[in-house]
A and B are shown apart, each in its own frame.
Chain A
Amino acid sequence: MTATPLTSTQGAGRAGDKVFSGAALAAGCLILAVLFGVALFLVVQAIPALTAPADKIQGGQGFFAYIWPIVIGTLIAAVIALVIATPIAIGVALFISHFAPRSLASGLGYVVDLLAAIPSVVYGAWGAAFLAKEIAPAYGWLADNMGGLPIFEGPASTTGKTILTAGIVLAVMVLPIITSLSREIFLQTPKLHEEAALALGATRWEMIKMAVLPFARPGIISAVMLGLGRALGETMAVALVLSSGALTASLIQSGNQTIAAEIALNFPEASGIKVSTLIAAGLVLFIITLAVNMIARWVITRHKEFSGAN
């Protein structure tokens, strides 16, 4: 056997390396190019609406007056969805990862994943045809008994097609996303840390508080942000469920609108400056999502020193 010279490497292996690194680089660049392309499209197409005289924009008071109520509406719906979905999702994920017997856990995990596969139009139809009707009496009760709070101010919608119903439908839709991501994170908690907590005399819940949740914290935040992304951008379910209207503080009256539903409902018949206005609305949604993700990143890195990564 002769010694292989240090300077030459075998041709095939080196070529494979090059192909692979080239493909990976191309894929990475492609993502950036697509993102940049979308952003560029949104900005270019939105400029006419942003520079148009106020009376040309829908509502007649300029773009800002047009956009801010539906920005607020979007945020209200998304916040309702997350407030409902996050605790339930974390509870379900913990049950699957740490409490349920193994046979039940895998079945339940599968069902949760299945929930994510249901198309949003089905959720929308369910919300509009079933949930809204069933939940309307509860809104009546809220208006009668807690009407003092601005968010439950009457008269309640008798059809139930309100922003709160839309938020509940969105909660059901984001629940499987947050659940399955959190479950994966919980399962990755090092055994070592769980045993450390148990050996100190922790109960199962104390072990979870001590070892599992702190370890999973960045993962939970990421999961919630992904859920938020879906809730912010969800179109079909909101368009079907919500009987839209002007911005109102009450969650149980019809009214409010989200950006995504506004675009979807108006785009087919729009032309000229109206198209530009809707695309500008899309740009605003894009910026909101971007901002939310950056805040999430910042929250995660703020605690890097204590993340266990070092």
Chain B
Amino acid sequence: MSKRIDVKDLNVYYGDFLAVEDVSINIEAKSVTAFIGPSGCGKSTFLRTLNRMHEVIPGARVEGEVLLDGDNLYGPGVDPVAVRSQIGMVFQRPNPFPTMSIRDNVLAGVKLNNKKISKGEADVLVERSLKGANLWNEVKDRLEKPGSGLSGGQQQRLCIARAIAVEPQVILMDEPCSALDPISTLAIEDLINELKDQYTVVIVTHNMQQAARVSDRTAFFNIAGTGKPGKLIEYGDTHTIFSNPVQKATEDYVSGRFG
């Protein structure tokens, strides 16, 4: 489990508007890659093209290639539904299904496509996924309660449990801690460190300390001005990006002298 992603010359458009220009990047398997940059620089947009979630927005399209272990996600005949079942996603705000119990939330992805699963297998999977998301001890006595009754941080870990229950190759996280308090954030960061043993993790974050703490490699995105496309400025080992970046813009941003 876990595959690498290679992006070649990717342009992302909303209608005629070029939102992200000419990104090429190689994301290693079983590592944590962080995308940082100012608001509106296209890092979230770019993240969403990695599992074709940008297609939810009418008019969004891409040019270029995204290769998952060599298979082009945008090749002819590729089903976005199949892509998303291999590349899971965790969102900015926790979004467990409010009408489902904690247990059903974890199983939501597994039960898709009419897959049948016995109760015993389901129990094992629920426990494994919730343990994998460091949530098991907190919820094991109330699995039949609604997921929306948990705290924000617990809900976000429930969403991670839901994502890993389908055993994806890659997990994308779009600012997963931005709605959480520092303690919940710490819990998620610890979890990310454990997840990379099994999965390829890509995380978008506004918090540079977070990028420095959790990621192996960091990509810095920037935008020249309003209405201009976002670009990948620099990509390298997290240590290098934060201590000795090549580009002036990167150094300004990571040292807080941006803008």
Contact = CB atoms under 8 A, between A and B. Distances in A.
Given A214-B99, A307-B99, A195 B53 contact: yes
B162 interface: yes
Nearest to A309: B98
Interface string B106-145: 0011001100000000000000000000000000000001
Contacts of B206: none
B53 A201 contact: no
Nearest to B89: A199
A193 B109 contact: no
B88 A193 contact: no
B97 A211 contact: yes
Classify the secondary structure of B's interface with A: mixed
B12 interface: no
A102 interface: yes
A203 B113 CA distance: 8
Given A306-B99, A307-B98, A308-B99, A200 B146 contact: no
A247 interface: no
Contact of B148 (A203, A206, A303, A310): A310
Interface in A260-310: 303, 305-308, 310
A125 interface: no
Interface residues of A, number: 26
A92 to B, nearest CB: 21
Given A193-B98, A305-B146, A306-B100, A198 B56 contact: yes
Interface string A192-211: 11111111111100100011
A203 B108 CA distance: 13
Contacts of A199: 51, 53, 84, 88-89, 91, 163
A57 B85 CA distance: 69
B99 A196 contact: no
A215 interface: yes
Contacts of A196: 91, 95-97, 159, 162
Interface string B62-105: 00000000000000000001101110110101011111110000
Contact of A201 (B82, B93, B97, B101): B82
B58 interface: yes
Contacts of B146: 305-306, 310
Contacts, number: 87
A217 to B, nearest CB: 7
Q: How large is the interface on B (under 10, 10 to 19, 20 to 34, 35 or more residues)?
A: 20 to 34
A195 B112 CA distance: 15
Contacts of B112: 200-203, 206
Contacts of B86: 201
B99 A200 contact: no
A217 B97 CA distance: 14
B228 to A, nearest CB: 26
Contacts of B108: 197, 200, 210
B139 to A, nearest CB: 16
A29 B38 CA distance: 54
B182 interface: no
Given A199-B53, A210-B108, A310-B146, A193 B166 contact: no
Contact of A215 (B58, B99, B109, B162): B99
30 contacts: A102-B58, A193-B97, A193-B98, A195-B53, A196-B162, A197-B108, A198-B53, A199-B84, A199-B88, A199-B89, A199-B91, A200-B84, A200-B88, A200-B162, A200-B166, A201-B85, A201-B86, A202-B112, A203-B112, A203-B113, A206-B113, A210-B108, A214-B100, A215-B98, A215-B99, A305-B145, A306-B99, A306-B101, A307-B98, A307-B99
Given A102-B58, A215-B99, 6 more contacts: A190-B95, A192-B93, A195-B91, A201-B82, A214-B98, A306-B148
